[in-house]
Amino acid sequence: MRMLLAGEWVDRAETIDVRDPFDNSLIDTVPSATHDDVETAMAAAFAARATARRMTTYERSRILLKTAAIVAARVEEFATTIAREGSKTIREARKEANRTVNTLTISAEEAKRLNGETIPFDSFPGGEHRRGHYERVPIGVVLAITPFNDPLNLVAHKLGPAIAGGNSVILKPATVTPLSALKLTEAFLEAGLPKDVLQTITGNGAVLGDALVADERVRMVSFTGGLEAGKRITTRAGLKKIGMELGSNSPVVVWRDADVEWAAETCVSGAFWAAGQNCIGVQRIYIHRDVYDRFRDLFVERTKAYRIGDKLDEATDMGPMITEAEAERVERWIAEAVEKGATIAAGGRRSGALVEPTVLENVPADATIHYEEVFGPTVNLYPFDELDDAIASANSADYGLHAAAFARDIEICYRLVQGLDAGSVLINDSTDYRLDSMPFGGIKGSGLGREGVKFSLQEMTEPKVVCWYLPELKKL
């Protein structure tokens, strides 16, 4: 596939192979962009600010709705692309494609709800002759950098609000999963988006990243990815808005009165969705000692029943990790934990890029797999006696995106809601739930700001005050 620069689909002599991580088969190639391509994209996006800004609310909303309709009509095509270039099974990929339809539809709706307010200038002496309001206006050029784990819907979460707000956009998709983003770019153009409003540049982030992020023509960087990359962006971005979702190490607390069967069932799905490569995936589960054995047995039983293999097989529950190198990293982290005293209750083996769904017990606090984001199909189980101890343990990691708790006692639930440090606390559900219209983001190392269409749209626009001095007002 080609990339979109300055309104044209272009190739380059140097290309990047896009391979299926299950069998390493070649799916397609994409151009490997250069620094000259970055300048082309920047210049085009900067010039296109006027085009994007002139689009009426109706036009922005219509284009977003039509793009949503195109994706809806081609769900199977998009799902197959997601599944082949990434880690998701075909069933997981269909869900992502359908969520993308919802994200774009919400973006179209929110474009029409981008309101300002009147300002009571006469609320302070000296303002008697003044009236006015504020309105929200486009911020300008938005740089969107997206990850591999949700290669379609997370692109929509950036493009949808940016276009709804009247901005031009430069999209840099993940190097290993660019095809879904390019297909969505095609859908936007088919829906009528002016070509110069969106630039989709493909290439190695290590080569292009600094040049994209540091350019003063960019007014906002919207980034989803890892903590270290996020820190690097903050040191190079300069004076511009930054929105970041940087992952998590999501904890779950299971109280003694919980529905243990439901907790085990939903946490297995929450731990191993997309081979665990999920920023809100369950990683640490703290279980009251009264129900620990029962929960562990149910959790291990369901984990061992998970079917791993070919992503396009409808019967497969979990596919490979994104690369064999990532699978080897998770294998090393498991081995390190075992060397330090952890025990494997299920899984633990690797074959190529496939890592078995793995359950660990007795994981020490100094094991990497305990305190870092594993971003792989492993989960740690810990018993506890006192609720305050469980809350403190859950909060001990330098992340705070999602946390979850299972309990029936309403007072216990409120203590957990108030005590858990996270952007979202889910009660009687796993951490792996997100509605595309809710505010989404975290604290500590999990990032800056909030996504979710309405909230991204606020970040991608800015208030502009209009104040009228009307000397004749007192005579009225």
For residue 77, how many other CB atoms are within 10 A of its CB?
Answer: 12
Q: What string of pLDDT tens digits covers the 476 residues of the chain?
A: 999 999 999 999 999 999 999 999 999 999 999 999 999 999 999 999 999 999 999 999 999 999 999 999 999 999 999 999 999 999 999 999 999 999 999 999 999 999 999 999 999 999 999 999 999 999 999 999 999 999 999 999 999 999 999 999 999 999 999 999 999 999 999 999 999 999 999 999 989 999 999 999 999 999 999 999 999 999 999 999 999 999 999 999 999 999 999 999 999 999 999 999 999 999 999 999 999 999 999 999 999 999 999 999 999 999 999 999 999 999 999 999 999 999 999 999 999 999 999 999 999 999 999 999 999 999 999 999 999 999 999 999 999 999 999 999 999 999 999 999 999 999 999 999 999 999 999 999 999 999 999 999 999 999 999 999 998 876 55
Strands across the sheet containing 117-119: 117-119, 130-138, 461-469
- Active-site hit among 85, 92, 110, 245: 245
Asked if 384 contacts 254 with a C-beta cutoff of 8 angstroms, the reply is: no
Residue 95 is encoded by which pair of tokens?
């869900």
- Active-site hit among 92, 110, 279, 451: 279
Write out the DSSP string of 318-373.
Answer: B---S-HHHHHHHHHHHHHHHHTT-EEEE---EETTEE--EEEES--TTSHHHHS-
What's the confidence (pLDDT) of residue 434?
95
Quote the CA–CA distance of 331 and 129 in Å, as a whole number: 71
What's the confidence (pLDDT) of residue 472?
81
What's the confidence (pLDDT) of residue 176?
97
User: What CATH number belongs to 250-427?
Assistant: 3.40.309.10
Residue 51 is encoded by which pair of tokens?
């085009």
What's the confidence (pLDDT) of residue 471?
87
What's the confidence (pLDDT) of residue 49?
97
Quote the CA–CA distance of 9 and 195 in Å, as a whole number: 10
Angle (CA) 58-64-65 rounded to 5° is 85
User: What is the DSSP secondary structure assignment for residue 441, as one 8-state letter?
Assistant: -
267 is catalytic: no
One-letter amino acid at 216 equals: E
245 is catalytic: yes
Quote the CA–CA distance of 193 and 132 in Å, as a whole number: 33
CATH 3.40.309.10 occupies which residues in the chain? 250-427
For residue 344, how many other CB atoms are within 10 A of its CB?
Answer: 17
User: What CATH number belongs to 3-246+446-465?
Assistant: 3.40.605.10
CATH 3.40.605.10 occupies which residues in the chain? 3-246+446-465
Sorted by sequence, the CB contacts under 8 Å of residue 204 that are 6+ apart come out as 16, 32, 175
pTM above threshold 0.85: yes
